[in-house]
Amino acid sequence: MQLNIPNTGQKRILIAGSGFAGLKLATKFADTDFQVVLIDKNNFHQFQPLFYQVATAGLEPSAISFPLRKIFQRSPNIFIRVAEITGLNLDNKEVFTSLGAISYDILVLAMGVDTNFFGMKHIARYAIPMKSVAEALSLRNKILQNFEDALMETDAEKQKALLNIVVVGGGPTGVEVSGTLAEMKRYILPKDYPELDFTKMNIYLLEAGSRILAGMTEQSANHAEKYLQKSGVKVLCNAQVSDYDGEKVDILNNIQIPAKTLVWAAGVAGKPTEGISPDLYARGNRIKVNNFNQVEGQEDVYAIGDNALMIEPNYPNGHPQMAQPAIQQAKLLALNLKRQAQNKPMKPYRYFNKGTMATIGRNLAVVELPFIRFYGFLAWLTWMFVHLMAIVGVKNRLLVFINWFWNYVTYDQSLRLIIKSAEKK
């Protein structure tokens, strides 16, 4: 079966994935002489940096999600299909999807990455990751339901496990979700559940390495750890999780933590696609590309964003898997494909590090820019402004701003809803 895309006689660019990289690339070709086919398993773009705020009841899912068809309403050359990529035939320039096959002139792989459980089956089964809006909602349901169950639990140890939350991974996501949970424990949960003793609730942040925020300077990491500890988060470094059975977290140095909630933010990996040689995959299942984002040995196949591995002198292990490298690669690839169509030489990619930041909670953040580092309230305002401006859609920005303003003024959130899927009778 063939994917039903009209033949317009234009050169067809097939983009697999609508994350930061895929969406940016598609917008650069809106209203051009190229036909663009954008394929994603969702019909919306999701703003990953704020998944944790959905998970902790700070934002609605719709505030950080934006329909793809709305973005391209006025771009007749862009065709959107909601499907999953199942395989490739690079020799015949064909992509296989859950809806059928489609040919391409230029293929761009921007499928991103998924959670990496490092082969630990029990953790994959019981832990909750945050790589999608659906997973963030699942985490929110889990946390709130545990508090409801704790009200009915008479066994002290079982109640402790229901109250405890363990976050694994000391990167920005782990730091941000831990800090937000600490705020909930301090300002919100005691008002919602006055019958529970929240002095018995512990929030743990576990990091296998020697310090949190390994991608930032030691000074910034120290500030972040100090802020977290002041907020009541128990930060444990050199704490490698070995197993989890849904009731207790096992750490390699014979430590056990009772917890019914384990948030997994410890790593990501790409998902291999049938038709791509295993030799083209590097660590974390990232696809090897040259400095033009061309997949090695392929002329018309490119990979951008988190699923691409490009080696630069300053980045021997590839670029950080964050929004900025993805967006920058998409912008340059769009320029290069247009130059290529004009028989002009392509320009090599060089990553420009615009900085890194993480928020720890109310009035607290750490920010590193190429020319300055700063912390605390100003860093927090900077973090909010940057993330607000990066969200797609004026309405979405307004929704996020209203929620943030309300939370700041009232020390409260209004989205603590346990939303379960309806069961068929």
328-367: pLDDT as tens digits: 999 999 999 999 999 999 999 999 999 999 999 889 999 9
Show the domain range for 322. Answer: 11-113+270-341
Structural domain includes residue 100: yes
User: Going along 169-309, which residue ranges are E strands?
Assistant: 203-207, 233-237, 241-244, 248-251, 255-258, 261-264, 268-269, 287-288, 301-303, 308-309
Q: How confident is the model at residue 421 (pLDDT cuts 50, 70, 90)?
A: low
- Same domain, yes or no: 237 and 146: yes
Asked if pLDDT for residue 7 goes beyond 70, the answer is yes
Structural domain includes residue 395: no
Rounded to 5°, the CA angle 135-17-266 comes to 40
Model pLDDT for residues 127-154, shown as the tens digit of each residue: 999 999 999 999 999 999 999 999 999 9
Number of separate domains in the chain? 2
Average pLDDT over residues 373-377: 95
Q: How confident is the model at residue 169 (pLDDT cuts 50, 70, 90)?
A: very high
Residue that terminates a domain, selected from 309, 341, 373: 341
423 tagged catalytic: no
- Same domain, yes or no: 232 and 196: yes
Model pLDDT for residues 207-253, shown as the tens digit of each residue: 999 999 999 999 999 999 999 999 999 999 999 999 999 999 999 87
- Same domain, yes or no: 78 and 128: no
- Same domain, yes or no: 293 and 324: yes
Judged by average pLDDT, the poorest of 19-23, 62-66, 348-352, 393-397 is: 393-397
Q: How confident is the model at residue 393 (pLDDT cuts 50, 70, 90)?
A: confident
Structural domain includes residue 384: no
Model pLDDT for residues 261-278, shown as the tens digit of each residue: 999 999 899 989 999 999
**How many CA atoms, within 13 angstroms, populate the side-chain half-sphere of residue 372?**
5
pTM to 2 decimal places = 0.93
- Same domain, yes or no: 20 and 83: yes
For residue 422, the model assigns a pLDDT of 62
Structural domain includes residue 151: yes
- Same domain, yes or no: 283 and 262: no
Q: What share of the chain is helix, strand, coil (3-state, %, to 5)?
A: 35, 25, 40
Q: How confident is the model at residue 414 (pLDDT cuts 50, 70, 90)?
A: low
Structural domain includes residue 6: no
For residue 425, the model assigns a pLDDT of 52
Structural domain includes residue 188: yes
Structural domain includes residue 419: no
Catalytically annotated residue among 60, 135, 148, 176: 176
- Same domain, yes or no: 21 and 74: yes
For residue 399, the model assigns a pLDDT of 87
**How many CA atoms, within 13 angstroms, populate the side-chain half-sphere of residue 38?**
29
Residue that terminates a domain, selected from 292, 321, 341: 341
- The CATH number given to whatever domain includes residue 236 is 3.50.50.100
Mean of per-residue pLDDT scores for the chain: 93
Q: How confident is the model at residue 424 (pLDDT cuts 50, 70, 90)?
A: low
Pairing mode, if any, of strands 78-82 and 34-40? parallel
Structural domain includes residue 62: yes
Model pLDDT for residues 88-106, shown as the tens digit of each residue: 999 999 999 999 999 999 9
What is the DSSP track for 139-160? HHHHHHHHHHHHHH---HHHHH
Judged by average pLDDT, the poorest of 43-47, 217-221, 252-256, 280-284 is: 252-256
Q: At what angle do helices 172-183 and 218-231 cross, to 10 degrees?
A: 20
Write out the H or E segment, with its range, that includes residue 183. helix 172-183
How is the beta sheet containing 94-97 ordered, strand by strand? 85-89, 94-97, 100-103
Model pLDDT for residues 288-341, shown as the tens digit of each residue: 999 999 999 999 999 999 999 999 998 999 999 999 999 999 999 999 999 999
